[in-house]
Structure 1
Amino acid sequence: MRALAWGAVVAITLGLAGPALAQERPDDPPYEQDLMRLSEILGALHYLRPLCGAPDGTLWRDEMQALIEAEVQDEGRRRRFVERFNQGYRGYSSVYRRCTQAAQAALDRYVEEGSALIRNVTTRYNR
């Protein structure tokens, strides 16, 4: 797995992972669920960070694109990554219209979880 360029924020913690999208395939790498979760976190960050005043622009969408380019070779898997990103984005855009204490707390947790996922995957599976 290629290390992602994360700037200062490399992390997040989302509570949206749904069992319906967590279907493993026999040819998936052993870190697939971690990458799916990371995709979801990136989607949430893409919505929440600008909502809470961060000047991120397309940073998180660009990171998602870099993840897809590094990890995905087939269309079905690409669609699963994009679905998880969109799930993370929609999950928060349907609830938050302004930055609240709860939204900021979610961002803080997501930063921790995202960092842990990246550390785990790159430590265990980096070639």
Structure 2
Amino acid sequence: MKRFTRRRDATDSAFGAGRLSAIGLLLAVTALPLPAIAQEPAPATTPAQPVEKPAPYDQRLLRLSEILGSVHYLRVLCKASDPDDWRQAMQELLDKEARGETARQARLTAAFNRGYRTFASVYTACTPAAVAADQRYRAEGATLASEIVARFGN
């Protein structure tokens, strides 16, 4: 019985070396320290923004801002003698009520713009209905401002 031995050639040693390098790579990867999956992420290094506490009259103030935007649009549309008074009134409101409170200032400004855009989408000319809406909104705004001052003023 003759025993056959296979001759090793260059491909055998390359295959063996490839297998060893793959095993070495596998061992190296598994030896790396990996973070635990359930580990909590590191806390953010940025300081937390202070939470703005809403004033008890903020909803009324938002409505007043919306009314100011509506009236401003209608006064400009109808070419009133005081069209910019309403925008200036809104700026004064922002200066007194939301100075340094960017989120609150953004909410009030958005309400003003919403009122302006709402009426801009409805009225494109100064009609009797636009004049009546202007009068109603100015009356509602005056009532609302009086209520805020009477209830929450110093």
Name 1:60's counterpart in structure 2.
Answer: 86
From 123, 126, 131, the equivalent of 1:99 is: 126
4+ long deviations beyond 3 Å: none
Q: Count residues in correspondence.
A: 103
Q: Matches of 1:108 and 1:46 in 2, distance apart?
A: 12
CA shift for structure 1 position 26: 7.7
From 28, 37, 41, the equivalent of 2:54 is: 28
Name 1:116's counterpart in structure 2.
Answer: 143
**Unmatched 5+ residue regions in structure 2?**
1-50
**Unmatched 5+ residue regions in structure 1?**
1-24
Q: Matches of 1:113 and 1:121 in 2, distance apart?
A: 12
Q: CA RMSD in A?
A: 1.5
Q: Matches of 2:66 and 2:97 in 1, distance apart?
A: 15
Name 1:84's counterpart in structure 2.
Answer: 111
TM-score with structure 1 setting the length? 0.76
Alpha carbons 2:75, 2:83 under 8 Å: kept: no
TM-score with structure 2 setting the length? 0.63
CA deviation string 1:90-121 (max 9, x = no partner): 00111211111211111111121111101100
Q: Matches of 2:109 and 2:128 in 1, distance apart?
A: 28
| Higher RCO (CA < 8 A, seq sep 6+) | 1
CA shift for structure 1 position 71: 0.4
Q: Percent identity?
A: 46
Q: Matches of 1:104 and 1:28 in 2, distance apart?
A: 34
CA shift for structure 1 position 57: 3.6
- What letter is aligned with 1:123? A
Name 1:7's counterpart in structure 2.
Answer: none
Q: Matches of 1:55 and 1:105 in 2, distance apart?
A: 17
Q: Which has the larger radius of gyration?
A: 2
